[in-house]
Amino acid sequence: MNPKNCFTPFKSSIEDIKIPNKFTFPFYYDPHPIALLAASELQKRIETDIDWNHDFGLGQSISKLALGKMFGVLVVKNTTGELGYLSAFSGKLEGQNLDKIFVPYIYNRFSKKGHFFLETQQLDALNARIEAMETDPKLLAVKQQYLNKQKEISSILDIEKKQLKAASAERKSIRHTLQKQLSEEDYKQLHAAHKQQSINDTFYYKEYSAYLDSKLQKAKLEVQDMEQSIERLREQRKSTSIKLQHWLFDQYNFLNAKGEIKNVQTLFKTRIPNVPPSGSGDCAAPKLLQYAFQHQLKPIALAEFWWGKEPSSKVRKHKYFYPACRGKCEPILDFMMEGLNVDENPLLKNPGIGKKIKIVYEDEHLVVINKPAEFLSVPGKHVVDSVQERMLQRYPQATGPMIVHRLDMSTSGLMLIAKSKSVHKNLQQAFKHRSIKKRYVALLDGQVEGESGFIDLPLRLDIENRPFQMVCYKHGKACRTKWELVERKDNFTKVYFYPLSGRTHQLRMHAAHRDGLAAPIVGDDLYGLKKDRLYLHAESLSLEHPVTGQALEVRAEAEF
């Protein structure tokens, strides 16, 4: 492919835009103005320059197959010093003029003439053969005949067992009755005869059981023969799949800014699990950097945005910007960016510097504090400063963990702190039995209809993109939230949230997801648009004091 087809000069003037000194940290960023401009130009081309075969779900008629896609832009400088940008999409897309706009796949596993596609067809053929054999009416009939006969024989043998047991009990009763009437010699003879009869009965049962089992052998062997044929095909499928997967991994070799090359298997070797997830290397960011390094283009800034219908499991809003996924991309991008001057990871900075914790209520047993926004509840992987650390410093004589419950780092509001292990235990039990009532206030980005409602969306961690959560009805944990309208103003809605469960990012997901309120919390840097802060505040707690038994209600007004 001619590199000029992928390097796109800016149509708009960039004279007033200051070029960044450092490259974008791809896992948490605010898009640089020059990247925003590139994304805007690409979005116009997506709308006008391509005859798509893909349904993004943006039209009047939305099909069930409609699916949005992640797109990316990489602002680059060419060897002559000209600034422009590269464009890419994640995964697979079809349409005319794609090769004139988007950088190529690192390996095009979707090509119908390629080795991977042809081998996949063979696997599909194996799957079809296995499925056909597993559902073969002949196999199902033979299996059913075998099961029916097995059940019949089992029933016959159960009757035989009961009869043998009854006969044995009858002989025992006879011996008991005649023991005092017979001479010692006659009783011995009777006992010996009964013992021999028991041996005969046992022998008869075994022989009869073997005879009945022999009647099953023909059907049993027929079932086994057919199932062994299926198992051989399964083993062939497994072997072929593993061989093909290793072959595919060999095709994904990545460049970094220093000109070094590493294979995807090497990059994931130190990760858990140490096997690259499916689709590793097919996301927009690795494609963009690979093309830039291959064609001596210097990376300046990166941005990725969602285009199209929101998926059912995740929060992805049309034209919103999102970080690169960690599960598939982190090991790859970490290597590819070696040699680049990259922005510092903001997650390594202590967000609590200069922030103070306010005491709202205190007695000899517990404390209620008002946590500021962007402050950790407990120590993180890289930052120790947190509510827990500060409480331990403030109350060195306290026993137990102190922190009874957590708030997300970005959420402000009330937290319960226990001064003793026993109070901590009692408060945790109260949370477990839902006798502690919490109310949050949130400002949502959008107009929410209705006066109140109930949201029930089960959540689980998106393991390919931590710390994002996703809706999952199969493996997700139950999450339930009540909400009430406070006010509507302009294009914003203020609501009260009453969480009936306490899952990670529950209120943020329930607000933003299309099956929740479909209106992200203002300032949500994960599921909405970043602002000065997350507009979510835990404003009230109601509980029975764990020692005095008196009702305790604490309130802290939100700053918004």
Amino acid code (one letter) for 506: Q
Which of the 8 DSSP states describes residue 85? E
C-beta separation of 378 from 392 below 8 A: no
C-beta separation of 89 from 104 below 8 A: no
Bridge partners of 265? Answer: none
Task: Give the relative orientation of helices 184-251 and 137-178 as an angle to the nearest 10 degrees.
Answer: 160
Cα distances from 471 to residues 91, 268, 515, 547, in angstroms, run 21, 27, 10, 39
Q: How many CB atoms lie within 10 A of CB 437?
A: 12
Question: Sign of the CA dihedral 255, 256, 257, 259?
Answer: negative
Task: Give the relative orientation of helices 184-251 and 115-134 as an angle to the nearest 10 degrees.
Answer: 160
- Could you give the 3-state DSSP secondary structure of residue 198? helix
Q: Which two tokens stand for residue 272?
A: 């858990």
From the candidates 282, 343, 408, 462, which is the catalytic residue? 408
Across 204-341, the runs of DSSP E, i.e. the strands, are 253-255, 261-263, 298-307
Q: Residue 390: which of 377, 406, 408, 404 has the closest Cα?
A: 377
Q: Which two tokens stand for residue 260?
A: 């070094």
Residues 321 and 32: their CA atoms lie apart, in Å, by 11
> Residue 399, CB half-sphere, CA atoms under 13 Å: how many?
6
Catalytic annotation present for 49? no
For 202, residues 6+ apart whose C-beta sits below 8 A from its C-beta are 164
Number of H helices, E strands in the chain: 11, 19
DSSP β-ladder status, 437-445 and 492-499? antiparallel
- Could you give the 3-state DSSP secondary structure of residue 235? helix
**Catalytic residue list:** 408
